[in-house]
Amino acid sequence: MATKIFVNLPVQSLGRSVEFFKQLGYTFNAQFTDQNATCMVISEDIYVMLLVKDFFKGFIKKEIADSTKVTEAIISLSTDSRAAVDEHMKKALAAGATETKEPQDMGFMYQRGFQDLDGHQWEIFWMDPKNVQ
């Protein structure tokens, strides 16, 4: 059974977040976009719903984590090459992201991480297909 994933993230400013992620090359599905939320397309099966905080609160009973102070999750995305990892990071940093750690090169895997404008932690990685079973 094919499954799609929708990650929901609270954001301070929807417009600011959309501009940030557009600079990283992502697109948005207008069908699921209004003043409260937008649907960022990562791939055919992966989407990130960016929700303004007040709207996000309507879906939960607990407090929203302050992602500038605590890590609520690490969103990891794979790429096709080491160069693609570096290119993605270059775009993220130019758009205002903060690098969260030094590049990790394990030979068979290469990864880098950044914090977006709202403090959400992202990791971009490449894994040598010869080492994936």
CA distance 63 to 8: 15
60 occurs within a structural domain: no
Q: Which domain holds residue 9?
A: 1-55
CA distance 106 to 51: 35
Q: Are residues 72 and 113 in the same domain?
A: yes
Domain count, the chain: 2
pLDDT in tens, 11-45: 999 999 999 999 999 999 999 999 999 999 999 99
Q: Helices marked H in 1-133 — which ranges?
A: 14-23, 53-57, 82-94
Q: Are residues 95 and 51 in the same domain?
A: no
Q: If DSSP codes are grouped into helix, strand and coil, which group holds residue 26?
A: coil
CA distance 85 to 110: 8
Q: What is the CATH number of the domain that holds 124?
A: 3.10.180.10
pLDDT in tens, 74-90: 999 999 999 999 999 99
pTM: 0.89
In this predicted structure, the answer to whether residue 1 has a pLDDT above a threshold of 70 is no
Domain boundary among 11, 36, 55: 55
Residues 6+ apart with CB under 8 A from 55: 36, 37
